[in-house]
Chains A and B, each alone.
Chain A
Amino acid sequence: DAKTTQPPSMDCAEGRAANLPCNHSTISGNEYVYWYRQIHSQGPQYIIHGLKNNETNEMASLIITEDRKSSTLILPHATLRDTAVYYCIVRVRGGGSNYKLTFGKGTLLTVNP
């Protein structure tokens, strides 16, 4: 799986959009970008994933650059409960032994009142 690079920490004001970047310059054509988050002491929670098109769900939006070498997770209206470590993961989508989520250190997003 391709490696990812994320800033170790970011701050965001409550109610504003939080934009979390991720670099994955070695991503290959069949690899997807996944985002998970981990609120303090809890198990990780799936947020969103995408291949090359921008994606949106009830939690967030995912913007992937045209060359697919980087992406941005957007939380449109951050709340205090969004304070968490956010993990960007690149992996081949599908089953079998290829299904291994490899977590880096992620980005600690702190939403301030």
Chain B
Amino acid sequence: NAGVTQTPKFQVLKTGQSMTLQCAQDMNHEYMSWYRQDPGMGLRLIHYSVGAGITDQGEVPNGYNVSRSTTEDFPLRLLSAAPSQTSVYFCASSILGTPNTEAFFGQGTRLTVV
């Protein structure tokens, strides 16, 4: 199994450009989420989804959109990139409910906005 796959691994954007960070999982997990990690800080939750067609905001949602049309994919969209969005982005997935709620993370997308 590939687990959680994020693409691209690296990206440089100009201020105002738009782009989509891709996240796909092949474990049939209901729950998927996006985090950002800034230097010296822990991960902060951007958006999450508990299943296809259902999304909700995390603690830092501004400037980001998400959709969940399939169980496998959970793309993160930046409509108008800003330098403050320079960060490393991690996607995670897990099953819901007991007994196993271990989260699996992708390897991250390093985004620089200039």
Q: In the complex, which residues 63-114 of chain B have their Cβ closer than 8 Å to any Cβ of chain A?
A: 88, 90, 92, 94-98, 101-108
Complex contacts, B98 vs chain A, CB 8 Å: 93-94
Chain B interface residue count, CB cutoff 8 Å, equals 31
Chain A residue contacts of B50, Cβ below 8 A: 95-97, 99
Q: Is the interface of A mostly helix, strand, loop or mixed?
A: loop
Chain A residue contacts of B90, Cβ below 8 A: 43-44
Contacts of A44 in B (CB 8 A): 43, 90, 92, 103, 105
Known: A44-B90, A87-B42, A93-B98. A100 touches B105 (CB 8 A): no
* Given known contacts A43-B105, A44-B105, A101 and B45 CB-to-CB distance under 8 angstroms: yes
User: Residues of A at under 8 Å CB distance from B?
Assistant: 36, 41-46, 49, 87, 93-97, 99-106
Q: Give me 18 other A-B pairs in contact (C-beta within 8 A), A49-B102, A99-B94 excluded.
A: A41-B88, A43-B4, A43-B92, A43-B108, A45-B105, A94-B96, A94-B98, A95-B30, A95-B31, A95-B96, A96-B96, A97-B50, A99-B96, A101-B45, A101-B92, A103-B42, A103-B43, A104-B42
Q: What 9 A-B pairs are tightest by C-beta distance, nearest first?
A: A95-B96, A43-B105, A103-B42, A95-B97, A103-B43, A46-B102, A44-B105, A104-B42, A105-B42
